[in-house]
Structure 1
Amino acid sequence: MNARTLLHTLRLSVALACLCALHDAQADQTMLLPEGTVSLIRATTAFNVDMPIALQPGDLLATDVHGGAQIEDGDGTIIALGADTRVAIDAAPHGNALALLSGWIKIARPHAGAFDPLSIDTPALHASLRDGSAVLHASRDMTSLFIEAGSMTLALPDHADAHQQLDGEHYAERETGKPLVVGTRPATSFIAAMPLPFRDPLALSATPAKAKPAAPAQGRPATYADIADWLSAPLPIRRGFVARFRPLAQGEPFRAQVRQNLRNLPEWRRVLCPPPAMPRRRAVSPAQNQSTEVES
């Protein structure tokens, strides 16, 4: 093999390696596919999204009252969002996680294999789905779900050490502060309110493989109204909000609005009313100590 052929082979190998790396990176992306306009809070900026976009941990999503969306992960997981639904893309120690503040979602996961379970936090219930499909609805005071297939592990936020595993064709609901209720048939009210598309199996979107995820259009600083319900939500993800949204509290009217709601946001008190700085002790040099001893 001459030098020119060797150089060509090396270039081809590098190009193939880069192509494979790009493919793997795209496969690992979690994509949002809006049906209508979806509100996105990323870091401290608010966006209106109406095109496919790659999601990031910490993103807060809200569908409008006439829209919806689908989230697709590189492992084949599909999460459908109903209208008027708010979810957060959380970062779990092992695997993926969602926080469902309110609204409807349907989840479908292929046979798990080596994949870690998908964790779902709601105000009244914590769920973990390894594979199968399930429909969940959450409000601030109640969570209800129906497991169509597979199995799901449930835990109560105030009794995190107590777990209950349910297999397919089981229904569970829990009102905040009350015991978990389990049955084999969904409640009539649950079926009546469930979005009609959720009665059918979920399928991956037909988005062309060459379509590139759009970057968010120019956004604006998030307002207190944008995140008020998240700031006071009884969800584990809330613990990181003070550090994340602290820069917004440097200006008005966000600072005044937080102050008005301190009863529900006690963790913000140190931001608005920081403790006084400790006085600095004046250093005394050895020469000064020696001088004092001589004078005495």
Structure 2
Amino acid sequence: MLRKAHSLILRPLKSLIPFALLLTTPYANAAWKLVQADTPVTVIHETGLYLANGGQRFALDDIVQTPASGGIQIQDGAGDSVALGPATRVLLMRDARIALLGGWVKVQHTCDTQTAYCAAPVIETARTAITPADGSALVIAATAANYQTPNAQDTTALATDAVFCESGTVSMLGIGGSRSHATPVKLDAHRFATHSTASDTITVSARLDPAFIAAMPAMFRDVLRVLPMPSPLRNDPPGNIRPVAYDDVSDWLESGLAARGYPSTRFTSRFRARLADPAFHRAVVQHIRDLPDWRPLVFPPPQHAVIRSTAIQTRSAYLSSYSSYSSGPLRP
């Protein structure tokens, strides 16, 4: 009887195994792979740094930085292709979200209908969240050193997000500060939009800025196509990994990216262990005005102050209880 009951219990569970594998496999395949690289690229993996060539599979929350002399193309297992231009820095987050610190990015979002899990890439700068619809292609410039807002009158125009919708449609949303509740702006094919730090408004134009075309990496002029996956793929970082120095991550730590404080990507949690290195600790202290979230880590409150604060809170609790009892008539 027990054997029969055991069989009845396991039978439906066995039938669910293929379905469970179907759900988990796409997540496993969704990691970005480096399919093409002109030159080796810098990768910050956890708290280490290494150089990667084609065929490298990136881990969740890896930071990828292209050299000034070349670009790369990465692809996931869901049909998305992303090209990074020279001098571009991105953080590869969960669910195809990419934090773009600066540089040039071209995205082709094509959802593979055979894939159970297919999230549209969301490119987040310090000011804008950019999401392509299925079948869309777009080019993004974020705080690119070689491109400024058209007719820029001041140096703050350098910190500009510019988006060209090559095909399909794109949704743009202002984020950060008062822009967190802004209404999304829809960008149709062949439309061009800019979002400067000097304004909360996303400006859409039917004409592509000539300066944008001139500054755009030459490789972005071609249609972004899915490339064959290199074989074999390398899952682990190579042996040339070294601990990050402060200069390796300073721009990320001081940035206005929302990813800086996300629970899953919080930089204070990720790089806290590097404070054990005297040079890293010293650099954080020197730049503490730009790193308010690091202050409690390098200047913790004195222990006696913590004890005194706890004692005051405990005493206050007793006083509050006494007051509540003494507010009414005494009873035997």
1:44 Cα deviation after fit: 0.3
Give the distance between the partners of 1:175 and 1:28, measured in 2 at CA: 32
1:124 Cα deviation after fit: 2.8
SS in 1 for 2:171: strand
Please give the per-residue CA displacement for 1:177-219, whole angstroms capped at 9, x wherever unaligned.
31221101221110000011111111122345x5233532121
1:161 match: 181
Give the distance between the partners of 2:26 and 2:172, measured in 1 at CA: 32
Structure 1 contact 123–141 (Cα < 8 Å) conserved: no
2:234 match: 213
More helix by share: 2
Alignment equivalent of 2:87, drawn from 81, 84, 88: 84
Aligned CA RMSD, in angstroms, stands at 2.2
SS in 1 for 2:267: helix
CA gap 1:115/1:50 in 2 versus in 1, 3 angstroms: closer
1:13 match: none
- What runs of 5+ residues in structure 2 fail to find an aligned partner? 1-17, 144-157, 312-332
Q: TM-score, normalised by structure 2?
A: 0.73
Number of corresponding residues:
259
Structure 2 contact 46–62 (Cα < 8 Å) conserved: yes
Give the distance between the partners of 2:60 and 2:111, measured in 1 at CA: 24
Alignment equivalent of 2:196, drawn from 158, 162, 175: 175
1:14 match: none
1:236 Cα deviation after fit: 0.8
Q: Which amino acid aligns with 2:181?
A: D
- Tell me, yes or no, if structure 1 residue 147 matches structure 2 residue 165: yes
Q: TM-score, normalised by structure 1?
A: 0.81
Alignment equivalent of 2:32, drawn from 30, 33, 41: 30
1:191 match: 213
Alignment equivalent of 2:141, drawn from 130, 137, 140: 137
1:241 match: 267
Please give the per-residue CA displacement for 1:70-98, whole angstroms capped at 9, x wherever unaligned.
1101111000011111111022xxx3200
1:292 match: none
Structure 2 contact 49–243 (Cα < 8 Å) conserved: yes
CA gap 1:111/1:206 in 2 versus in 1, 3 angstroms: closer
Structure 2 contact 34–53 (Cα < 8 Å) conserved: no
1:200 match: 222
SS in 1 for 2:268: helix
Give the distance between the partners of 1:259 and 1:188, measured in 2 at CA: 44
Structure 1 contact 112–130 (Cα < 8 Å) conserved: no
Structure 2 contact 31–60 (Cα < 8 Å) conserved: no
1:56 Cα deviation after fit: 1.8
1:99 match: 99
2:278 match: 252
- What runs of 5+ residues in structure 1 fail to find an aligned partner? 1-16, 282-296
Give the distance between the partners of 2:128 and 2:275, measured in 1 at CA: 31
Give the distance between the partners of 1:212 and 1:23, measured in 2 at CA: 17
Q: Which amino acid aligns with 1:164?
A: V
Please give the per-residue CA displacement for 1:152-192, whole angstroms capped at 9, x wherever unaligned.
11111231222112221110011113122110122111000
Give the distance between the partners of 1:207 and 1:183, measured in 2 at CA: 37
Alignment equivalent of 1:42, drawn from 41, 45, 48: 45
Give the distance between the partners of 1:171 and 1:116, measured in 2 at CA: 24
Instruction: State the identity as a percent.
Output: 29
SS in 1 for 2:278: coil
Give the distance between the partners of 2:217 and 2:233, measured in 1 at CA: 29
Q: Which amino acid aligns with 1:274?
A: P
1:26 Cα deviation after fit: 6.6
SS in 2 for 1:53: coil
